[in-house]
Chain A
Amino acid sequence: MLDAPEDFLGFVTFITGPEKHSGKTTFMNHAARLVRQAVHARGLRQPALMTVGYDGESRDYLTGLRKPAVFVQAGDAFVTAERFLRSGGASPEILDAAPGATALGRLCVARARRDGFVALVGPDGNSQVDWMLGRIVEGGIADTVFVDGAINRVTQVAGRAGARLVYALRIDRANLDRSVDRLARMAMLLDLPVESGDVDYTVTGALTSEAASRLPREARLVAVEDFTRIFLDRRELSVLLGERRVVVRHRPDFAGFSVATRAVDDCAVLEKCRDIPFMGASLADSLSFNPYEERAAFGGTL
């Protein structure tokens, strides 16, 4: 799971995670690399990379120079702002400019004419994300798109055909229980059924613990727009789901969880997730681990 080009080819994949440094960009780079190898072999279009907000710059590990964070291959499309367009040596060709501007300036869709690095800058609002995806997919720029995204933009996934969600997170020894808690909460949210008939009550805004406590006593079947509107922790959510049935208006297609483990065995994570139900099976079945891990066929001697 999440380790073959077919997991991404022809999809708009939103990569989200619980916080900064949860491995979203690393996962995007990994998935884009898989896709590039496949499209070259099959004569398809190269991927497009975009983000929601700003991905920042990092320092080049080898040279110590500041450089944009995301590698693009000649032929890749990407979204950035004017001020970052020519940094990174990708020799961009501008394909279109988005209407309006962000805090970092006007955005454009560009195509790399040379391998290089780019700073992805994306739209802030849902309508701009929609415009950008429409321009890229319907405009024939790319069929495969990666959106390094914030969780609160998941609404776009639910509303777009061929869009999927990947949830990336890092787990280490110190945060193992908390991370499993997060995974379990996410599994519960993603498992909420889609509204299919009359409901007793519709939550129009955010479903916080306070809003949950104010739900009418007689409302057994409660609807929310999508799972991103639910701000309850795992325990609160369990309590709510024990008392009522909660349905969502829109549910995104889900591609899987990508877990990067550090100082904790993958088996320990799997073991803790074994009994957590998800999509009619075990949550453990939906986890993929360490996209950069190479399980060497044999060891070498230095």
Chain B
Amino acid sequence: MKDAWNFAQMDDYWRRYEPLTPWGQDHREARRVLVDEKEIQDRHDDIDVAAQFLADAAANPVSLDRLAYHLKRMPRLPLAEKDEYELIELFQVKKFLANYRGVLSVLDDRTRGRFNLVPACPGLAAELDRGGSDAETFYLADSYDPGLGACRASLAAIDAEIREARAASEERAKVEFGLSFKGREFLVVARSVFHEGAPDPVTFLIDPYDDGRVLVRLLPTGSAVAAMEKRERLLESEREAENAVIRRLSALASKAMAELRGAVAALTRWDIARAGAILADQTASIRPELDSSAMLLEEARFVPCADECKELGLEYHPLSARFDSGAVVLFGSNMGGKTVALKTMLFMQLLAQAGLFVPARRFCSHVYRRVDYVGELAGERLTGLSGFGFEIWRFQEAWQRSEGALIAFDEPARTTGSHEAEALLSALVEAYANGRGARAFFATHFRGVARVSGAEYRRMRGLDRAAACEALDADAPLPERLAGINRHMRYEIVDDDDAAQGESDALAIATMLGLDCGLVERAQDYFRKSLLPGSGAGVSTGH
């Protein structure tokens, strides 16, 4: 379904979807399109509950900020049982539990119940909370083990002893030799400092640095060396005591893993529901109705296009339409909006099946087993095939997996001559109209496609030529002309009828884009001739 996803510019919209936890972000990155109706309905129910909670809590923005704060701070913790966890992993468990409690404290009973957000691992949390200067930091505190506390007290005393000895040595160096170490490990000094003989080997260690200078270190006194050795032994004892604490905490954490996994799953579900509800609110989206055999769109907004129009100062027109058949042929001129209409339909369907609400006044459809797109791709993927060969290969691929699928064909058969294209397209429309539970849309220029039983034939309403001609300024720069076309294009889907015959939007647009008038007039002549009976244009067979 990747092609459909890309064609519908889903990523342009997906950026607004912002789960905050690491697992919510994994879910977003996966870009899953669901095919299980119950799973989709559950997701939609979740969003309803989340939206209700957010609406109820709107009067208390601080609580919503706290909720976002805790979700953002969730660490990716280990979720497998192990004999021994690393210190960082224990920290992650503690941080997770602290923020999980924070989330629970903000939510109401209904929301907690819906998402199964229940208190998790209170015993483990209490134990981990003993280590750390605040709820989110962690160290192996003295209180974990009496031996650890005693060992650290001895270390503190030894450190004080070493510091005092060092300070005394530094003072002596300053007073007797003018060497101010100020905590520095070594100094580089002029040789002349020691000009009257060999330095005292008990006080300094002196190494040559260069011709004129020496590198001087303070040697610890005998008692300081003894203290340092004792310190090393104490550090070893501390490490052993810490290891014992880590093993004990690891055993507790390992036992709690199943509960932690449950908490992560519940939290992730809440996180994505919350993100879905916020997105729905930001984009005025509604819950799709997925029990309809027809596809109904009421004021469906293809947000990437609406955004682009806004940027360009153009008006965006939402799409409304209803489709009942398995095959829908959509005619339209260049720039008439048929590709955007296709994108809008896929966009709505993909959002609904991604478990999200849709930006529309109403959207009715059902769950398709696949959502596919067949049309121009950014890069050709089967080297060795011509454009036509590649297109045929994709027709066949789509047909083979079409059962229960929604497929959008954009300008199918564009790689061959118009007669063959209309023939091929007619066969495709006939095949999809007659079964497999699929729904296929065909956006095409080729008006000669056969009208077959069971298929629907629609067209984009197209250019309001009278209004466009009236407003046409032959000397206007191109961006203004484009805006003029946009202003007078009617992006609506209507039944295809004879009103579409006789005049060409494409040629009118060519005029508006500044094509030489003489050329356009001749093109109009040829176009009208082509519509005369017996002209040989088209393969229309009627039905």
Which residues in A have some Cβ–Cβ distance to B below 8 Å?
29-30, 33, 37, 61-63, 65, 71, 82, 85-86, 89, 91-97, 99, 106, 108, 111, 113-115, 172, 262-264, 290, 292-302
Contacts and interface: CB of A to CB of B under 8 A. Distances in A.
B326 to A, nearest CB: 47
Given A114-B155, A296-B178, A300-B178, A85 B183 contact: no
A99 B217 contact: no
B187 A292 contact: yes
B522 interface: no
A299 B196 CA distance: 9
Given A93-B133, A94-B139, A85 B87 contact: yes
Given A301-B196, A302-B198, A296 B88 contact: no
Contact of B189 (A89, A92, A172, A293): A293
Main secondary structure of the interface of A (DSSP, over half): loop
B162 to A, nearest CB: 9
Contact of A108 (B88, B136, B199): B88
B199 to A, nearest CB: 5
Contacts of B22: 99
Interface stretch (B207-215, B385-393, B457-465): B207-215
B75 to A, nearest CB: 6
A111 B210 CA distance: 38
A264 B402 CA distance: 81
Nearest to B197: A302
Nearest to B193: A299
A37 B178 CA distance: 20
Interface in B168-212: 176-190, 192-200, 205, 209-211
Contacts of B220: 62
Contacts of A89: 155, 231, 235, 238
A255 B177 CA distance: 33
Nearest to B139: A93
Contacts of A292: 184, 186-188
B184 A33 contact: yes
A298 B178 contact: yes
B133 to A, nearest CB: 6
B186 A85 contact: no
Interface in B478-514: none
B187 A299 contact: no
Contacts of B321: none
B91 A299 contact: no
A89 B237 CA distance: 11
Given A61-B217, A93-B139, A99-B22, A82 B87 contact: yes
The 8 closest A-B pairs by CB, nearest first: A300-B177, A263-B210, A93-B139, A296-B178, A94-B91, A294-B187, A293-B188, A301-B196
B242 A296 contact: no
Interface of B: 22, 75-76, 86-88, 91-92, 95, 132-133, 136-139, 152, 155-156, 159, 176-190, 192-200, 205, 209-211, 213, 217, 219-220, 225, 228, 231-232, 235, 238-239, 242
Contact of A114 (B159, B180, B185, B193): B159
Contacts of B137: 93-95, 111
A36 to B, nearest CB: 8
A299 B87 contact: no
- Of A91, A97, A172, A262, most buried by chain B (CB within 10 Å of CB) is A97
Contacts of A33: 182-184
B314 to A, nearest CB: 29
A263 B195 CA distance: 19
Contact of A63 (B86, B178, B228): B228
A93 B217 CA distance: 31
10 contacts: A82-B86, A91-B152, A92-B139, A93-B132, A108-B91, A262-B210, A263-B210, A292-B187, A294-B181, A299-B193
Nearest to B224: A62
Contacts of A62: 217, 219-220, 225, 228
A91 B87 CA distance: 12
Given A63-B228, A93-B133, A86 B87 contact: yes
Nearest to A106: B88
A302 B211 contact: no
Contacts of B210: 172, 262-264
Contacts of B92: 97
B91 A300 contact: no
Contact of A94 (B87, B187, B228): B87
Nearest to B198: A302
B243 to A, nearest CB: 9
A94 B87 CA distance: 8
Nearest to B190: A296
- Of B75, B188, B200, B217, most buried by chain A (CB within 10 Å of CB) is B188
A302 B196 contact: yes
Nearest to A298: B178
Given A63-B228, A86-B242, A94 B177 contact: no
Contact of B239 (A29, A86, A290): A86
Contacts of B186: 292
Given A89-B235, A114-B155, A302-B194, A294 B88 contact: no
Given A108-B91, A292-B186, 15 more contacts: A33-B183, A37-B183, A62-B220, A62-B225, A65-B232, A91-B152, A91-B238, A93-B138, A99-B76, A113-B139, A293-B188, A294-B189, A299-B192, A299-B194, A302-B198
A30 B194 CA distance: 24
B152 A302 contact: no
A115 B139 contact: no
Nearest to A111: B137
A292 B181 CA distance: 9
Contacts of B197: 301-302
A296 B189 contact: yes
A25 to B, nearest CB: 12
Contacts of A111: 137
A263 B212 CA distance: 8
Contacts of B209: 262
B88 A94 contact: yes
Nearest to A29: B185
A263 B193 contact: no
A108 B137 CA distance: 11
